[in-house]
Amino acid sequence: MDLDYETLVVFSKSWGLFYLMAFFLAVVVYAFWPSNRKLFDRAKKSILDKDDRP
């Protein structure tokens, strides 16, 4: 099998696109998973609960 520059570029562009799409879908599924709602709600409100002064 002859691996030249053009072959590697086509391979990396196509599989890199699939990799990034899969990563994006995994992040979206994690963010909208029903059992993570409490975790994200707590994180959303925790910044407002602390009254730190500079």
Q: Where are the beta strands (DSSP E) in the chain?
A: none
pLDDT tens figures, 30-43: 999 999 999 988 88
Would the pTM count as exceeding 0.85? Answer: no
pLDDT tens figures, 11-30: 898 899 999 999 999 999 99
Burial string for 18-46 (b: 16+ CB within 10 Å, else e) reads eeeeeeeeeeeeeeeeeeeeeeeeeeeee
What is the distance between the alpha carbons of residues 45 and 47, in angstroms, rounded to a whole number? 6
Residue 8 or 51, more confident: 8
